Amino acid sequence: MAMVNNETHCFICNEEKITFPCEGCSKEFCSVHLTEHQQILNELNHIVINYNELKERISKQKQNPIDHSLIEQINQWQIDSIEKIKQKAHEYKEILIESSQTCITDTEMKFNSLNEQMKQIHQENELNEINLEYLRNQLLKMRQQLNKSSKVFIQENSQSFINDVSFILLKPKFNKWKQNAITVAGGNGRGEKTNQLKYPHGIFIDENKNIFIADCANHRIVEWKYNANEGQIIAGGNGPGNQMNQLNQPTDVIVEQKNHSIIIADARNRRVIQWLNQTQQILIDNIDCFGLAIDKKGFLYVSDIVKNEVRRWKMGEYNNEGIVVPGGNENGSQLNQLNSPGLIFVDEDQSVYVTDNRNHRVMKWRKDATEGRIVAGEKGRGRDLNQLFYPEGVIVDDLGQIYVADGVNNRVIRCYEGKEEGEIVVGGNGSGSQPNQLTNPSSLSFDDEGNLYVADFLNYRIEKFEIIL
C-alpha cells in the first residue's frame, strides 16, 4: 500500500474518508476496508503458492509416475498380503498333515486288530465262507478309508479392502446305518392279510413316515402308518383285474404331495392310474409301465420295460405321447440304449437315474442329453463292488451319492459318479431273513431323518435301517 491520501471516496463503502491506495489494484480504501482488502490479498497469495506447489508436483509425477503415495500403500498391501498367505498356507498344511496322519493311525490300529483276528481264526481252524467274507469286507473298508481324501476350498471375505483368505477343511459326509434292520411292514410271511405282504415292490415314504407299498402279488396299494402293526388297503385289493377299482400287479407308487393323490404303475393293466379319495382316473394308457417319479417342477416320469425308455409328461397334461428322456433307441447296451429299465429317480436338475436291469447297471441321463452315463455297475453283472446283478431300485441323496438295491446280490450299494467302485451300506450277508440280511431287495427310500427303507421282496417285508448319528 502507498502513503495516505487526503479525503477521497473509499472503493468499498463509497464514503468520503481518509483513504489509502492499493499499489496492486490502484484503488482507494478507508482504514477499515483496507484491512479486509489485505486479508483477501493474503488468501490469494496462499492460493498462488498452492497452485505453484501443485504444478510442481504434477510435473514431477508426470516425469516419474511410480513416485506416488498410493503406490507405497499398494506395495505395503502386497507385503502384508503375502505374509498372511504364507501364514495361512503353513497353518493349513499342518492341519492337512495332522488329518492325514490321524487317518493312517486309525487304519493301522484297525489293521493290527484284524491281524490278531486272523491269527485267532487260523489257530482255532475256523476258516469258513462267513469268516472269509468278513475279512474281505474289513480289508476293503480299510482300503477305502485310506483312499478317501479331505476336500479343501478357499473362501474369501470380500468386505475388507485386503481380502481375508481362509481355508475350510471339509470331510465328506458318509452316512452309516445300523446293520440290523427293524421290520416296519409285513414280516409275517407271505399272505393277503393286512399284516402281510406278497412280493412288495415300489415304496414311498411321506413326511409323516407313513409307508405306501405296491403290494404287487396282492394287487393292491397298502398304506402302513408310522409304528402300525398292520396296513390299510387304499387302492385295489379287489383281486386282479382291469376294472377301475382293481389293479393287476402294481410295481410302483408315488404320492403327490399337493393333493395327496396316489399315482400307481399298474403294470399288467398297462396303465398309470391315479386314486384320489377312492375316485380313479387313468392318466396314461397303453404303456408297459414299471417305475414312476415326479420332479420338483411338476413332471411325471414313467419307465417302459418293453420300449426300453423313460417318458416324461407335464402333470395334468396326459393327452399326448410325452417326451422320451432316457432310452428310446431299442433294446441294447450302448450308452443311448436301455434293456428292461426298472425303477427311476429324478434329481433337482431333472437328471434321470434309471436301473438298467438286464444290462446290470444304473444310468444317469442329464436333461436334454442324447445318451446316458454309467454311474453304477461299470463292469456289468457280478458280485464285485464295480458290478451289479439285476439292480432294482435307485435313489440319490442331497450329496449326489447313488444308492442301488442290488437285487440278486442281496445288498444295497452306494456309488459315486465318476468312481468305478461302490461300497456296501446294508445287506451283503447272503440271502436270508435275519435282521442283517436281504433277499432280492427291490426298492429304496429315505425318511426326513435319513433312515433307509428297503422293500425286501422275497422276505415279504419292509426293512428300516436306522441312521447312525
pLDDT digits (tens, 9 = 90+) for 192-242: 999 999 999 999 999 999 999 999 999 999 999 999 999 999 999 999 999
If one counts every other C-beta atom within 10 angstroms of the C-beta of residue 42, the result is 10
Q: What is the pLDDT of residues 116-152, one digit of tens each?
A: 777 776 776 666 666 666 677 677 766 766 665 444 4
Cα distance between residue 41 and residue 145, in whole Å: 85
Q: Per residue of the chain (469 residues), what is the pLDDT tens digit?
A: 445 555 677 877 877 777 777 766 777 778 777 777 777 766 666 676 777 777 777 776 666 665 566 677 777 778 877 887 888 778 777 777 776 776 677 677 767 777 777 777 677 666 666 666 667 767 776 676 666 544 444 555 544 444 554 444 444 567 899 999 999 999 999 999 999 999 999 999 999 999 999 999 999 999 999 999 999 999 999 999 999 999 999 999 999 877 889 999 999 999 999 999 889 999 999 999 999 999 988 899 999 999 999 999 998 899 899 999 999 999 999 999 999 999 999 999 999 999 999 999 999 999 999 999 999 999 999 999 999 999 999 999 988 899 999 999 999 999 988 888 999 999 999 999 999 999 999 999 999 999 999 999 999 999 999 999 7
Q: Could you tell me which residues come within 8 angstroms of residue 252 by beta carbon, excluding any fewer than 6 positions away?
A: 201, 202, 214, 264, 265, 289, 290, 291, 292, 343, 443
Closest CA to 290 of 191, 367, 214, 396: 214
Closest CA to 209 of 219, 223, 222, 221: 223
Backbone angles phi, psi at 379, to 5 degrees: -105, 20
CATH fold group of domain 177-468? Neuraminidase (2.120.10)
Q: ∠ at Cα 225 (222, 226), nearest 5°?
A: 140
Report pTM: 0.65
Closest CA to 187 of 207, 211, 219, 204: 211
- Which grid coordinates belong to 374? 454309467
Q: What is the pLDDT of residues 379-424, one digit of tens each?
A: 999 999 999 999 999 999 988 899 999 999 999 999 988 888 999 9
